[in-house]
A and B are shown apart, each in its own frame.
Chain A
Amino acid sequence: MPATQASVAPASELEVDFAHASTVLAVDALSVTYGSGESAHRAVDSATFRIAHGERVALVGESGSGKTTLALAIAGFLLGDAVTIDYAGLELGGEPLRRGSVKGLPQKTPGITMVFQDAMTSLDPVWTIGSQLAAVLRGAEGLRRSQVRERSEHWLRMVGLHDTERVLGARPYELSGGMRQRAMLAIALCSRPRLLIADEPTSALDASLAREIMDLMVDLTEDFGTSVLVVSHDIHLCQEYADRILVMLGGVIVDDVPAAEAAARATHPYTKGLIECVPTLESAGLDELPTLAGLREAGAW
């Protein structure tokens, strides 16, 4: 069942009316298939949705539901013979997405940047944070060497890393997990993308740090009017930080609900299951946690 479009009425009058805002990302019937012939596996099946200017959309589901594949396909990181991407439309700001590759390696899609779960493996271990930030700044803004230092310090301060001297000269392993994720955000946002895709940006962090990073991401993207697509398995965190939640099950977007009222407005039992199965502080007295497997066996969907 294809998702309903961004024309969902705003949940309350306080909310930004995204339905009437301009569309940044338009995905129409996008499918991704890994392999071919008998071993073909359709990881994403006709995904259709829109993201408005400044809107934060969360993509939630279990491992294997296709949420990361969908995000990678939009970001342009899926290339090669082993994967087939079909779509009726894929537009960023009204223009078809431009793709490029050099020697089979995907090139960055203009206007989209991505942050990954594990900053440790997505930052280059032998380069300093300063040189990795400088590389992006020079490419994005065409800055001279002398200007780069100043802009780098500016961006580190933006993400709350005030000890700029030390951070610029540090290699990724010399920073704590939270600092690395902040540095990643600086690198992702300094080219002023129209869309930031964050794949499980906080699942390697503890709860208070996860909130700090989410707060930071929300503040910065709000300031710049950047739209956000966040991929996460933590539906509770998404309910709090996103405007809209897309729920994926077996490669299909089965639900599209306003985040604040996800439980009340969910149309698919799986969405309710996802919300119920996350342990909360109220789970303390239970003998057994509800599980998705349990609900599935009970025939909820």
Chain B
Amino acid sequence: MTALAAERLTRRFGHGRRAHTAVDAVDVEFPAGSRTGIVGESGSGKSTLGLMLVGLDRPNGGRVLVDGDDLAPRMRTQAGRRAFRREVQLIAQDTSSSFDPLRTLRDALRTPARQLVGLSIDEADARIAETLGMLGIDPAFADRYPHEVSGGQRQRFAIARALVVRPGFVVCDEVVSALDVSVQGQVLNSLKRYCAQTGAGLAFISHGLPATAFISDRLVVMYRGVVVEQGPTERVIAEPEHPYTRHLLNAHRGPGFEEHRAEVLAGSEPLVPASEPSAGIAREVTR
């Protein structure tokens, strides 16, 4: 059981006039055992927030707290990093680039089991078999190379690699967006089951609101680097407080989206920040 928290977390890219603040003084708590969904459109800063939570990107301001302690000093030593990686794992979006093409999937799963948990090869293989069973993956696939399995299988192996160390907290960045419905449900069910059985916490980053709503008990809505709303999932869906949350819900509810967008365009419901046009309506060239 691990608790994470973002405290005034800020990340800027570029300098001077080209500077872009991807994450702007974000405060979010991820209590131990809670499942938090982070939603927002492309470019809202949710993936950058995820990378900082797992220590793969350094904030320009603010800090990440792990069970109340600052993460930055822990990341300076190898022992600190390893202890942290055993506790907190990231599952990334693009699985074709997150496996070493020269090693089999079993080999890729052995590394964290041995280096982070300190298991022997036999123990590691037993742990891998147990994890694959938990996720309903055919163990025969483990001896293949990453390019020899489908995208859906590879994503399930990426999840297995994160869960093989039995982390207390998992950060998922768009893990089901690239999967089709047949696999999506299985992946979501097994993630939710793992969290329920082990009491692990979860930060589920996704632009797919329905999947996020299913898996999380709390929702954080991001827009242009800022958290515009957060609260219990059922409350946010039933009674969204922020106009942007309503816009997002409408996009998923289907009919009516056009009218709603016309309303937003007409300026009757200003989105935050009020001085700039909505990212969903006037997209800028990203340089």
Residue positions of A touching B, CB distance < 8 A:
62-64, 163, 166-167, 170, 174-179, 203, 205-209, 211-212, 215, 233-236, 240, 274, 277-281, 283-294
Contact = CB atoms under 8 A, between A and B. Distances in A.
Interface in B183-231: 183-186, 188-189, 192-193, 207-211, 213-214
B180 A286 contact: no
A130 B176 CA distance: 34
B143 interface: no
A290 B188 CA distance: 11
Interface of B: 41-43, 150-152, 177-178, 180-186, 188-189, 192-193, 207-211, 213-214, 233-234, 237, 247-249, 251-255, 257-258, 280, 283-287
B285 A209 contact: no
Q: Which 8 A-B pairs have the closest CB atoms?
A: A206-B207, A291-B185, A233-B180, A208-B251, A279-B210, A284-B213, A292-B182, A289-B185
A206 B41 contact: yes
A283 B210 contact: yes
B181, B252, B287 — most chain A CB neighbours (10 Å): B181
Contacts of B284: 176
Contacts of B213: 279, 281, 283-284
Given A206-B207, A208-B280, A176 B286 contact: yes
Contacts of A236: 254
B185 A281 contact: no
Contacts of B208: 207, 279
Contact of B285 (A170, A234, A293): A170
B185 A166 contact: no
Nearest to A237: B254
Given A176-B283, A176-B286, A279-B188, A63 B182 contact: yes
Contacts of B286: 174-176
B180 A207 contact: no
A281 B42 contact: no
B257 A211 contact: yes
Contact of A280 (B186, B210, B285): B210
A233 B181 contact: yes
A278 B192 CA distance: 17
Contact of A240 (B207, B214, B254): B254
Given A62-B181, A240-B255, A291 B214 contact: no
A293 B186 contact: yes
Contact of A166 (B234, B258, B285): B285
A292 B179 CA distance: 13
Given A208-B280, A233-B181, A281-B237, 7 more contacts: A62-B180, A62-B182, A174-B285, A174-B287, A209-B280, A289-B188, A291-B185
B189 A292 contact: no
Nearest to B184: A279
A292 B285 CA distance: 40
Contacts of A277: 181-182, 184-185
B285 A63 contact: no
Contacts of A287: 192
Contact of A289 (B41, B214, B248): B214
A278 B248 contact: no
A57 B25 CA distance: 46
A65 to B, nearest CB: 9
Contacts of B251: 207-208, 211
A174 B287 CA distance: 6
A69 to B, nearest CB: 15
B285 A281 contact: no
A288 B186 CA distance: 9
Contacts of B41: 206-209
Given A179-B283, A206-B207, A281-B252, A293 B182 contact: yes
A63 B179 CA distance: 9
B282 to A, nearest CB: 9
B185 A207 contact: no
A59 to B, nearest CB: 13
